[in-house]
Amino acid sequence: MKTAVYPGSFDPITNGHLDIINRSLRIFDRLVVAVLENKDKNPLFSTQERVAQLKEITKDMGNVEVRSFSGLLVDFCESVDSKIIIRGLRGVTDFSYEFQMALTNRSMDNDIETLFVSADTQYLFFSSSMVKEVAHFGGNIDNMVPPSVKEALKKKFPNLV
Ligand code: PNS
């Protein structure tokens, strides 16, 4: 059984993340979505909230597991018996950071492979940070996040309708 790990902050999960999950499932038998416990990043949603959101959104996908992790990603991969990391690439601006991260992970575990997956073009222009900014000012985020995430964002941003 080929398992891949899709790590991230997912603060919150966007339709772009969801598209990458669906695309990865066409390649791998099992996908572990790994939510970083960002201790020093001050996330909008707690780790528990982000894990719960992801579980809700992926509940009908039998071969997806959602876990949280802290510490090194390579150690988490080891713990779920995977050597494959999936990362989304939106464009060249993402590349240098992602490439650096891929090589850092490989320097710690030579067997780790990072696969870059691009989301559909309709999802390429936004990020979780952009979603939060638009939501903060009450803009329309309907095409950016799943409906359940929009409901969660409404509780954080009273301007959002
Ligand atoms: O969604 P993000 O914030 O871009 O995800 C970043 C993430 C979680 C993949 C990265 O911060 C990470 O792997 N953190 C765990 C610590 C680690 O392993 N660092 C070494 C590789 S840079």
Mean pLDDT, consecutive 10-residue segments, the chain of 161 residues? Answer: 96 97 97 91 93 97 96 98 97 93 98 97 93 97 97 95 88
0.95 cut: is pTM over it?
A: yes
Residue 88 · residue 117 · CB < 8 Å:
yes
The domains of the chain, with CATH numbers, are 3-124 (3.40.50.620)
Residues marked as catalytic: 17, 41, 90, 128
pLDDT, residue 157, reads 96
Please give the radius of gyration of the chain, using alpha carbons only, rounded to the nearest integer: 15
User: Ligand 1 atom closest to Cα of 41?
Assistant: 3
- Distance from Cα 37 to the centre of ligand 1, integer Å: 10
pLDDT score for 44: 96
The residue nearest atom 19 of ligand 1, judged by CA position, is: 72
